[in-house]
Amino acid sequence: MSLRPNRLVVAVVAVVAMIAAIAAPATAPVPVAASERSSVGASDRGPTIRGHVTIGDSAVEGATVELFVAGATAGTSTLLSSATTDRHGRFRVDVAGSVADSDVLYATSRGGSADDVAIPDAVELAASLGDLRRGRTAINEMTTVAAGYSLAQFAVAGVIGGPAPGLQNAALMPRNLVEPARGDPARFLTQYPNGTSTETFATFNSLASIITGCALGANDCEAFLDAATDAWGVRPETTWQAMTLLPTNPSGDAPGVFAQVPVDPEFTPVRASETAAWVIALRFYGNGRQFNGPGNVAFDEQGRVWANNNATWSRQPSRVCPGTELFLLDPYERRQPMETFTGGGLNGAGFGISIDQQNHVWVGNFGFTGSECRAAPPTSNSVSEFGLDGAPISGADGYLDGPLSWPQGVKPDVAGNIWIANCGNDSVVVYPDGDHSRSVVAGTGIPKAFDVAQNAQGSVFATSNGGDQVFGFASDGSPLPGSPFGGPDTFSKPLGAASDSLGNVWVSNSGIIDIPCSSGESLEAPALDLLPLLHGTIVRVGPDGSTERFDGAGMTVPWGIAVDGDDNLWVANFAGRRLSHLCGARASTCPAGEAGHEISPADGGYGFDGLQRNTGVQVDPSGNVWLTNNWIAVPVQTDPFGDGLVVYLGMAAPVKAPLIGTPQQP
């Protein structure tokens, strides 16, 4: 169970059927029991899946394997078939002929024995089969960890269900961690930019070894299940349930989890020291010669990841020039294909990227470039528009109407208008219905306008990085009464903005980042040496312009900010290599019940050594949190730009994509 009590299922049992309903109590609801899952008859038999169950290097004999199709809501599923493993750990289960192509399959295994040692009841293994309909699958400790972290936001007491496309994508994410037929670590997990270059492989092995220890008596499994208890006090009954709860409360009892890594672990390498949060994060960097300063990400209706690029990649820093590529990453397809699109006036994209109601991708061309680029300097005065197929819609120079000047945040509102924050001329420009030829200047005198966000009432707020304020506009572009709001006592070099479903807009205070908005300014790298020593804050801006500031959660120079489907907050930090997590304004979805209460640790957030300097952060429909590695940890003047994207698996309440206006649950 996660920080999402509104999505959990309260079971109501009739004589032979289960009726599940989504509820929103202030306390954790009753989970769905395994015995309440329905099943299909043998007359509906279809393809066959064969597999094997192992613990460590040993086959599990006599285990009960059950094959399920995930339901349409969290915590609902249908039992398709079951089997008992033979002395080699092998099994065969049948897929019902009525199973649709879009259905998600998963399997669990309990009981049996390995090398004549009985497997305790608390040891439950699982594997996400995703779209597998025939062929082979493995069920072991590694498949259990991979499926648990990937499907965490769709699990209730280990029962899986949820809406498309988030569920379908989440069910395929384990293939980036485990090779499904053999149950061995996937190459993507074991090789650069992951592998031993980050802590994730060791974290993954540690969790898998804990399960082995539970099976073979090499640790205190009851103590592990205690440590895996979620933030609402729900204790997992099995190791499979534990792996679905840990991502939702990774820092709950981190030392308690670490204490159960066996002294002689089954899988290596394992963590050599404690971690403040048991997160599994993966790095995506294409072929290693593409990303160079991604500023932000956006998700299309299929849940695929779109990212912009500050600069071009080059082996020679002197040739690092404005970014002219737009990337589309599908992390759920085999080998994580990434398409590259050009044209449309792309020219040194900045922080602004979004997808509108027409599924068109918008990018703001801020004009980033390397300090020694020999090409003509970027114009810094346009936005670009692309179709979902990657074809440019805007012309070779992009859209210049506005006027635009060093644009950053670019976002659609619920009426189809495109709002653009212009850092260079201190303005906000609106393209009504996305029509650049009808551009309207909604506001001027906004010092270094950086980002925009629309609240639930339809008002739009713009952050002023150079003015320590936010400016508010009605949906027609007219100023809100009392605008601008706040001042130096509330805001400090604000950057990102995101709205929640309750009418608030949340703003990140960097505290130090003064965005360069002309060719005569620069963000000097030497000043960044002090960033790890600095703390940051966020501010809640109410519908009436009232403000309230919060700190903690490990925030260090906050930049981007995102709101998840439970209205809780996720903050990207430009320093410190950590992700911050705080309670939003909806008390029922936070254990503390207080807006702004820190959830991630105060002394380091959700740290990950694969992070660099992060700007953008967004939550996808599968409950994953994505960040952009925008600058390298120790920047150099000629090419300070970072090299890709990072995803934290299964930690946030999913958000419907594309994100337009306020976040909605899928």
251-273 pLDDT, tens digit per residue, is 999 999 999 999 999 999 999 99
For residues 32 and 76, the answer to whether their CB atoms sit within 8 Å is: yes
Phi, psi (5° rounding) for residue 634?
-120, 90
Q: Could you give the 3-state DSSP secondary structure of residue 145?
A: helix
Residue 453 has pLDDT above 50, yes or no: yes
Pick 587 or 531 by higher pLDDT: 587
Instruction: Please give the pLDDT value at position 26.
Output: 34
Instruction: Please give the pLDDT value at position 18.
Output: 31
| Exposed e or buried b per residue across 252-273, where buried means at least 16 C-beta atoms within 10 angstroms of its C-beta | bbbebbbebbbeebbbeebbee
Q: Residues 621, 362, 309, CA angle at the centre, nearest 5°?
A: 85
For 76, the token pair is 């609902």
Residue 609 has pLDDT above 70, yes or no: yes
Dihedral of CA 215/217/219/223: which sign?
positive
Of 238-247, 363-372, 482-491, 528-537, minimum mean pLDDT range: 528-537
What is the C-alpha separation between 120 and 135, in angstroms, rounded? 29
pTM, full prediction: 0.93
The letter for the amino acid at 640 is P
Q: Cβ atoms within 10 A of the Cβ of 103, count?
A: 22
Instruction: Please give the pLDDT value at position 151.
Output: 98
Average pLDDT score, the chain: 91
Instruction: Please give the pLDDT value at position 24.
Output: 34
What is the C-alpha separation between 150 and 242, in angstroms, rounded? 13
Name the pLDDT band for 523 (thresholds 50, 70, 90). low
Instruction: Please give the pLDDT value at position 319.
Output: 82
Q: What is the pLDDT of residues 18-70, one digit of tens each?
A: 333 333 333 333 333 333 344 555 556 679 999 999 999 899 999 999 999 99
Name the pLDDT band for 14 (thresholds 50, 70, 90). very low
What is the C-alpha separation between 30 and 556, in angstroms, rounded? 38
* Residues ≥6 apart with Cβ < 8 Å to 495: 351, 450, 451, 463, 465, 507, 508, 509, 510, 513, 515, 558, 559, 560
The letter for the amino acid at 169 is N
Residue 249 has pLDDT above 70, yes or no: yes
Query: Prior bond to 185 cis, omega within 30?
Result: no
Residue 574 has pLDDT above 90, yes or no: yes
Of 20-24, 349-353, 367-371, minimum mean pLDDT range: 20-24
Which range scores top for mean pLDDT: 68-82, 370-384, 519-533?
Answer: 68-82
Q: Give the strand pairing for 77-84 and 38-39.
A: parallel
Instruction: Please give the pLDDT value at position 639.
Output: 87
Residue 561 has pLDDT above 90, yes or no: yes
Name the pLDDT band for 228 (thresholds 50, 70, 90). very high
What is the C-alpha separation between 578 and 605, in angstroms, rounded? 5
Residue 275 has pLDDT above 80, yes or no: yes
What's the whole-number mean pLDDT along residues 333-339? 90
Name the pLDDT band for 372 (thresholds 50, 70, 90). confident
Q: What is the pLDDT of residues 373-430, one digit of tens each?
A: 888 889 999 999 999 999 999 999 999 999 999 999 999 999 999 999 999 999 999 9
What's the whole-number mean pLDDT along residues 190-199? 97
Residue 655 half-sphere exposure toward CB, CA atoms < 13 A: 33
Instruction: Please give the pLDDT value at position 522.
Output: 65
For residues 408 and 423, the answer to whether their CB atoms sit within 8 Å is: yes
Instruction: Please give the pLDDT value at position 592.
Output: 85
Instruction: Please give the pLDDT value at position 549.
Output: 97
Residue 297 has pLDDT above 90, yes or no: yes
DSSP H/E element including 258: helix 254-258
- Whole-angstrom distance between the N-terminal and C-terminal Cα of the chain? 18
Instruction: Please give the pLDDT value at position 643.
Output: 94
